[in-house]
């Protein structure tokens, strides 16, 4: 009964926020008060953005980007991912579906398909063709995503009159947020000759003229220039020294230090693809976003459109240089200016007060373990090849067979069911034996069987996060977890994927129509975003949503 009344109250709240209301006055007259939805919802994902980038660089930001969102909108300061693995594709999908990989099925950027017996990419689709580029880079769609996004629900609610457009340098960052019913998703590809924004035949049969015009302009090539710090590098006191041993850098340059001459380096760094790994990739995304608002006529009528924008260069720079680098600080200071340009463009093109924006991240990132080790903080690197050999040797000794493992990926072990059957082995017994073995290996902190994920119901701790990320049909037979700050990666640069705070704690900012000014330290979860936007619009929640609306962000 208590649950029933909660649902009734929440439903009334969602309807009353945006539906025409009849108010009974003291004179007993019925007065209809119309409240209008925003003309445009803009979802911004900053790839690999830690929460502390808001606070570390705060004094260096201008007033029109991140600070505008904080000063005019609502800041959820204790926002976390509630599942693992914390990767790009699951992150973008969870933000817009309001649920976790357990339900939406995007369990990684790539994963092993145990039925097809091969690795698959989250957005790959060989039933479609690319538009604007040939080959695999264009053969993409959202068909592997099992649930709807709030952008899908808005399309359904408006009888397909509300548009949805997704853009990102990364295909997965554009495609998954935009959903199954999107009018278009555009992503960037480059080679030695140039770069272009492309899409696939999943959405259309020909690139729109505005996209062709943008690709044919000199906007993309104009960014193939020197990358130096936006301000005097001596003022970058929120990051480590420019020259150190914890950064990767670019091929063809001896040291990972400013400045970087992109024209000189491009031939050894995949040509125009190199732009993705510089802050200019974010600037290019902002340019294209502003062109898309005009080209797609977003927010031009009273039917709500959805615009998903993912800034991906932050992830590339973080992977290359690490979270404490001058390069990452410069990237965020430049992104702040790009956000200001985007918000000013929205003010001009859609109208201040006519749109709503949220900003979050698809995951955060760990400090470079080698740097942590230099400070005597426990950290290190996982030897994946050595791990696989150890497990294989164990299985050979115990079962006289070294082919019981079909695949190891995403911290999961997939067993060969055919060989298990041939040897008349019980899968539960083998899973338990492997868990009991690998828990003793260096760098492994925890290990679990698939059966424990299926049969138990965890409500706290890392076990809950693993279970939220575990999809019974797609995930493996054994799941293992590294020690804190242990990563399977190069000795330079940062990565992500764990259930620890350095990967789960990300910003969540709302501002614009219907959003009040404020802040909270109350814990919020990434899956709360889609139900919150759905409530704001008065539409159905995505069909697999497990998050809850954050009613305290509304006016």
C-beta of residue 239 within 8 angstroms of C-beta of residue 324: yes
Question: Among candidates 553, 423, 412, which has minimal Cα distance to 482?
Answer: 412
For residues 139 and 501, give the distance between their C-alpha atoms in angstroms, rounded to a whole number: 35
C-beta of residue 485 within 8 angstroms of C-beta of residue 367: yes
> Count of residues for the chain?
555
Question: Among candidates 6, 43, 2, 74, which has minimal Cα distance to 550?
Answer: 74
Per DSSP, 351 falls in state: I
Question: Among candidates 96, 99, 98, 119, which has minimal Cα distance to 109?
Answer: 119
Strands, DSSP E only, in 138-243?
Answer: 164-168, 184-190, 195-200, 226-227
Question: Which contiguous run of DSSP H or E holds residue 26?
Answer: none
Helix-strand-coil split of the chain, %, nearest 5:
40, 20, 40
Please give the structure tokens belonging to residue 346. 């929205």
Please give the structure tokens belonging to residue 74. 């609502």
Strand partners, 66: none
Q: How far is CA 464 from each of CA 81, 82, 309, 461, 467, rounded to the nearest angstrom?
A: 12, 8, 30, 6, 5
For residues 79 and 86, give the distance between their C-alpha atoms in angstroms, rounded to a whole number: 14
For residues 484 and 224, give the distance between their C-alpha atoms in angstroms, rounded to a whole number: 39
CA dihedral for 296, 301, 305, 311, sign (positive or negative):
positive
For residues 544 and 104, give the distance between their C-alpha atoms in angstroms, rounded to a whole number: 7
Provide the 10 A C-beta neighbour count for residue 465: 24
Burial classification of residue 348, based on how many CB atoms lie within 10 Å of its CB (0-12 exposed, 13-18 middle, 19 or more buried): exposed
Question: Among candidates 6, 70, 533, 3, which has minimal Cα distance to 339?
Answer: 70
Please list, in sequence order, all residues whose beta carbon lies within 8 angstroms of the beta carbon of residue 59, skipping any fewer than 6 positions away. none
Q: Is 88 a catalytic residue?
A: yes
Set 88, 199, 331, 504: catalytic member: 88
C-beta of residue 167 within 8 angstroms of C-beta of residue 185: yes
C-beta of residue 176 within 8 angstroms of C-beta of residue 92: yes
* Residues known to be catalytic: 88
């Amino acid at each position: 009964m208590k649950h029933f009344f909660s649902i009734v109250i929440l439903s009334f709240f969602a309807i009353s926020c945006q539906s025409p209301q009849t108010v009974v006055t003291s004179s007993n007259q019925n007065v209809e008060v119309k409240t209008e939805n925003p003309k445009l919802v803009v979802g911004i994902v900053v790839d690999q953005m830690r929460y502390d980038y808001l606070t570390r660089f705060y004094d260096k930001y201008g007033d029109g980007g991140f600070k505008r969102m904080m000063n005019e909108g609502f800041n959820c300061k204790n926002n976390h991912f509630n599942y693992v693995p914390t990767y790009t594709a699951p992150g973008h999908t969870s933000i817009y579906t309001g649920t976790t990989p357990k339900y939406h099925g995007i369990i990684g950027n790539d994963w092993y398909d145990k039925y097809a017996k091969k690795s698959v990419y989250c957005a790959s689709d060989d039933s479609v063709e690319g538009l604007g580029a040939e080959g695999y880079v264009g053969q993409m769609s959202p068909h592997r995503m099992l649930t709807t996004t709030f952008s899908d629900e808005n399309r359904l609610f408006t009888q397909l009159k509300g548009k949805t457009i997704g853009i990102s340098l990364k295909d997965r960052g554009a495609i998954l947020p935009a959903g199954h019913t999107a009018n278009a998703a555009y992503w960037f590809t480059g080679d030695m000759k140039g770069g272009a924004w492309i899409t696939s035949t999943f959405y259309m049969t020909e690139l729109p003229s505005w996209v062709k015009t943008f690709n044919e302009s000199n906007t993309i090539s104009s960014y193939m220039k020197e990358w130096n710090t936006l301000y005097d590098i001596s003022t970058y006191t929120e990051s480590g020294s420019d020259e150190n041993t914890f950064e990767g850098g670019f091929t063809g340059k001896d040291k990972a230090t400013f400045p970087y001459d992109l024209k000189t380096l491009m031939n050894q760094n995949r040509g125009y693809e190199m732009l993705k790994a510089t802050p200019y990739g974010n600037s290019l995304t902002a340019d294209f976003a502003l062109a898309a608002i005009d080209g797609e006529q977003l927010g031009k009528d009273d039917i709500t459109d959805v615009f998903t924008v993912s800034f991906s260069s932050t992830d590339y720079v973080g992977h290359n240089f690490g979270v404490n680098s001058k390069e990452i600080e410069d990237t965020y200071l430049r992104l702040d200016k790009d956000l200001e340009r985007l918000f000013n463009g929205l003010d001009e093109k859609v109208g201040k007060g006519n749109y709503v924006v949220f900003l979050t991240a698809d995951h955060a990132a760990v400090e470079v373990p080698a740097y942590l080790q230099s400070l005597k903080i426990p950290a290190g690197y996982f030897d994946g090849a050595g791990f696989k050999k150890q497990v294989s040797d164990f299985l050979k000794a115990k079962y006289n067979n070294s082919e019981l493992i079909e695949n190891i990926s995403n911290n999961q072990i997939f067993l060969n069911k055919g060989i298990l059957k041939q040897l008349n082995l019980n899968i539960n017994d083998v899973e338990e034996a492997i868990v009991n073995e690998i828990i003793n290996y260096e760098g492994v902190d925890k290990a679990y069987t698939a059966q424990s994920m299926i049969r138990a119901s965890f409500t706290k701790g890392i076990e809950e996060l693993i279970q939220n990320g575990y999809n019974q049909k797609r995930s493996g037979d054994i799941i293992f977890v590294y020690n804190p700050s242990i990563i399977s990666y190069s000795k330079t640069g940062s990565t992500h994927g764990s259930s620890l705070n350095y990967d789960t704690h990300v910003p969540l900012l709302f501002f614009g129509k219907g959003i009040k000014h404020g802040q909270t330290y109350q814990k919020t979860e990434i899956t709360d975003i889609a139900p919150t936007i759905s409530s704001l619009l008065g539409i159905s929640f995505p069909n697999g949503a497990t998050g809850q609306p954050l009613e305290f962000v509304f006016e």
